Structure 1
Amino acid sequence: MKRRRDLVRTLSCLRCFFSLPKKNPNTTKRKRAMEDSSSSSSSSSSSSSERYCYNPILRWNPQVEDYFIKAYGSDHFSRISKALTRPSCYSCIRVNTLKSTSDAVIQKLLTIIKEEEEEGGNVDGSESESEIGRISKCQFPGLEDYVVFFRGSGPHVIDYARPPKEIIVSRKCAEAVLRGAQVYVPGVIACSAHVEKGDVVAVSVGVEQPALDGGGWGIGITRGTILLGLKTDVLEGEIFLQNLPSIVTAHALDPQKGERILDMCAAPGGKTTAIAMLMKDEGEVVAVDRSHNKVLVIQKLAAEMGLNCITAFKLDALKAVWQRNDSNITTDLCCSEEIDGVTIQSSDLLGSLVDRNSSIIMEGMSAEKSGKESVSNEKANERTYVSKADIRKNIRRIRNGSGRNQCNGGRVQNSKGFSPNSFDRVLLDAPCSALGLRPRLFAGEDTIESLRNHAKYQRRMFDQAVQLARPGGIIVYSTCTINPGENEALVRYALDRYTFLSLVPQHPRIGGPGLVGHCEFPDGYIEEWLRPGEEELVQRFDPSSPLDTIGFFIAKFIVGPKDA
């Protein structure tokens, strides 16, 4: 795997493509008129500013847009959509207080910025980054000691009279660049000649959008600039770049020393390490994820930050509760180790070896059988059938760029699950539609059906969390989406189904109130949200609010006696 130094550095500008109508005589005339107007008024500052502005417009699925307008109101949702296309004006840095302090980190960052300015100077000759950018401590109660804000600069004015070198990247890569990331080789689709490490480049991205007249797809062009990103490979182990709502989520869980805590969907480990840090690395934090590679990422991050109380397992959160088939088994946690793709159960090593040998024999038999059948099937296989799913998958690969390999190697422990009532606190940062993440250049893939499927999936995970949290324990549920069906509707489901659960206040409280009421869909389905009095017990982070965060939601439950 290439290290961070093997990347194409990008800091200067972003050029994005957006929708235009499909060509027809009228649009052709309008386009020609626009071109004539642009050429005749090139000296006009207003037309120039329009041509080189960054003004993307999110185009939602019509049914999804109607749903969100019912939830937020037309004006409010319009502000949210606009905010989602832009990055936050600051980066949030969580300081590892077990290794450093906020004051020490601020001084080190200022030194690094000063050294970079002396070496490379400015991209566009404007005011120096140290003068524009602001590094300051967070002023929210409870976060002052370990949260630092790094304010970016921009937007910058780019002189296109002498265009810089240019690269074309995938959409996801472009969204990451807007968040301040560097450009890595897997995200690059094409580039100018002689682009080398350290070059200042213009970044272009192709964004597919439905044509305004409904006839196919179209692309247009606009130009703009991005915020100057902070290097991600500095002060390793001392800091972690993390969204403010994610930090608040770990704080709302209120972990205590000596407790046993479960992070059900833990990758990449940001909240897991934040929990361990708040516990002063005393206790047990169990982090699970169903991806082998993601478990390795959690392990690596915990090691970098010097946290020893974290144990990471490969486990599907939908199977987090251990189903005991043998009444004589009394162990609380059954785990195994995965080496080179072979899983060895620690509770039954001999049996697993027998199963492994038998599987090898069966593979040999099946291989012999398939060899005999291959001749007869040769003609049938001359024409290979490509399914629609494979076609869609290939389109996504082209659009989003090549991904990582399926397995990066290394050892992870597998788990069969955990005993009910075995954790003091449970964090469920559930997989979601991620409609709160910003910046976002495309939103047309989500449908009402897909949003409902997310909600069903989250409810199944929440059912597991309820079983694992002990009476008197705490469950914190969070998502990074603006979809009420995955937020307030989940809270309604939890309170109605589990009468022993109650919402409790969160500290610190930075976000706004939740949504009260319900939404009735055209098919007759009624989605219930919060009831009056409950809205102040959750936190909803609005991308369009002055706080300037991603869209996020946090709910905190206390578990009462389950036998009531």
Structure 2
Amino acid sequence: MDNNNNDIISKMNTMLASDVNLLEYLEKDTYQHLLNYYDEEQLSSIQRAQTTVQSLTCVRVNTLKISKNQLIEKLIDHFNNNNNNGQPSTYKLSFDDIISFDQLLNKDNNNSEDNHKNNEEILNKLNNEPGVIGSDKTIVKGEKVSIFVDLMGDGKKGFVVEQFYKERTVYIGNGISLLDRLDYFSGNGGVAIEMTERIYECPPLNALFPDLLFLQHLPSILAVFQLDVKSGQRVLDMCSAPGGKTTLIASLMSDTGTIIAIDKNKKKQQTVQKLCLELGIKSVTCLSRDSAKLTKQPRDLPEFADESFDRILLDGPCSGLGSRPRFIEPSKLIDLTNATDIQRRLIDNAVPLLKRGGILVYSTCTINPEENEQNVAYLLAKHSNMRLIAQFPHVGDRGLQKCGLTPEQQHLVQRFDPSNKLSSIGFFIARFIKE
């Protein structure tokens, strides 16, 4: 689904909004660190892209409950025929908006290797009840409202906007309130505002068919595809929250075999468990463990014995420097260093658990090479029984130079640059086999 609507981008700046079109690094050391790997023009292009949405919306079908064609028909019916909460639908869906996975790959394969691109969705959390931070005190259900992003995020949840909100904001569109103001902050979840006018025409999919579809970034989907899972295998997702990749693994395995989904945070682990229940998935076992200490567990525990997993996904915590859309990046240089340290401890725990002939996929959502290419180089140097292998499909860019990888190895990884023609989040994927 194409989200571009350049004719109304000018709406972004109103008398209440700042002229923000370049992501700002609050910590200059972080910005200077990235200039060690990118020239100023390239980094500026990435910063500019990160203040906009991705150009495609990617919807993953829960094939355990519905076929792709059946879901397409339901989406077309919803957007073209249904009224939402008494209001006419503002987004019209046609077959031209449906871009299948294969179609996207074919489009990209017509380009040169350096121009392979990909795209995916924007799930605008500002439309969900938990995302409303403050508002005018008189808003009632059914009232038309305008929505702004608070760039600094300094306001306390539930604060009242008196007259003009003087902090730095960016206008993102208009909508209709589905709740009275007091209900915004009740903690019950749900959709607070139905968007009727947007600076980008993203299809409103929040809370739509929650057991049938899942909004997911295309690079995240591609990372799971690199596992090449088979029915009946034993798979480990080392850092599974919020569960999108875990549930895709289960779907690709037809909900067979054994999938161990781990998250250190118990609340996040419960989120994964809840998503599996909602999607009707039974093959996933959710555990609250520290994946950076799995090999320090008692070695007689069968679930974490040496060489006990056919596939391992390591999509660990990272600096998140590839996220979009956003306008402020607060990460400090020490945050990037700490992320790299954690990732390497996770890598060192993943390798012993993988069977010989098994596949390990490592991915991040950052543009920081220390967490990407340099971690690949670290893994290969420390674990001589691991080999970097080709990916399919390969629609991203090659790895960066001068980051520890040979030219051949640079072509084996996938790097997704937000500033490329079809615009995605910043993302990185590497695929290994254990020999």
TM-score by length of 2: 0.78
Correspondence 1:207 to 2:151: yes
Distance 1:476 1:76 in 2: 27
Correspondence 1:558 to 2:404: no
Alignment equivalent of 1:270, drawn from 231, 244, 247? 244
- Give the superposition deviation at 1:539: 0.4
Match of 2:24 in 1: 59
Match of 2:324 in 1: 438
Q: What aligned pairs does 1:176-325 form with structure 2 within 5 A after superposition?
A: 179-208=123-152, 220=168, 223=171, 225=173, 226-227=199-200, 228-324=202-298
Match of 2:99 in 1: 136
- Give the superposition deviation at 1:200: 3.4
1:106–1:136 Cα contact (<8 Å) kept:
no
- Give the superposition deviation at 1:113: 0.9
1:269–1:301 Cα contact (<8 Å) kept:
yes
Structure 1 residue matching 2:260: 3-state secondary structure = strand
- Give the superposition deviation at 1:15: 9.0
- Give the superposition deviation at 1:72: 2.0
Alignment equivalent of 1:75, drawn from 19, 37, 41? 41
Distance 2:120 2:372 in 1: 30
Distance 1:122 1:114 in 2: 7
Alignment equivalent of 1:535, drawn from 390, 406, 410? 410
Q: Judging changes above 3 Å, is the alpha-carbon distance between structure 1 residues 131 and 252 closer, same or farther for their aligned structure 2 residues?
A: closer
- Give the superposition deviation at 1:293: 1.7
Percent sequence identity is 36
Match of 1:28 in 2: none
- Give the superposition deviation at 1:285: 0.8
Residue deviations 1:273-295 (CA, integer Å, cap 9, x gap) = 11111111121111011122222
Match of 1:120 in 2: 87
Distance 1:505 1:554 in 2: 11
Alignment equivalent of 2:371, drawn from 470, 478, 486? 486
1:87–1:179 Cα contact (<8 Å) kept:
no
Distance 1:465 1:81 in 2: 33
- Give the superposition deviation at 1:316: 1.0
Residue deviations 1:62-83 (CA, integer Å, cap 9, x gap) = 2222222231222111110101
1:252–1:506 Cα contact (<8 Å) kept:
yes
**Residues paired across the two proteins, number:** 377
2:391–2:412 Cα contact (<8 Å) kept:
yes
Distance 1:150 1:68 in 2: 23
Distance 2:99 2:143 in 1: 30
Match of 1:212 in 2: none
Correspondence 1:511 to 2:396: yes
Alignment equivalent of 1:428, drawn from 311, 314, 329? 314
Distance 1:424 1:287 in 2: 14
1:432–1:479 Cα contact (<8 Å) kept:
yes
Q: Judging changes above 3 Å, is the alpha-carbon distance between structure 1 residues 142 and 300 closer, same or farther for their aligned structure 2 residues?
A: farther
Match of 1:162 in 2: none
Distance 1:135 1:269 in 2: 25
Q: Specify the code of the residue in structure 2 equivalent to 1:464.
A: N
Residue deviations 1:270-322 (CA, integer Å, cap 9, x gap) = 10111111111121111011122222221121122222211111111112225
1:15–1:205 Cα contact (<8 Å) kept:
no
Distance 1:285 1:221 in 2: 43
State the structure with more CA Rg.
Answer: 1
Mean Cα deviation higher: 479-488 or 107-116: 107-116
- Give the superposition deviation at 1:194: 3.4
Distance 1:432 1:501 in 2: 22
Distance 2:150 2:346 in 1: 36
Distance 1:135 1:545 in 2: 21
1:133–1:150 Cα contact (<8 Å) kept:
no
TM-score by length of 1: 0.61
- Give the superposition deviation at 1:249: 0.6
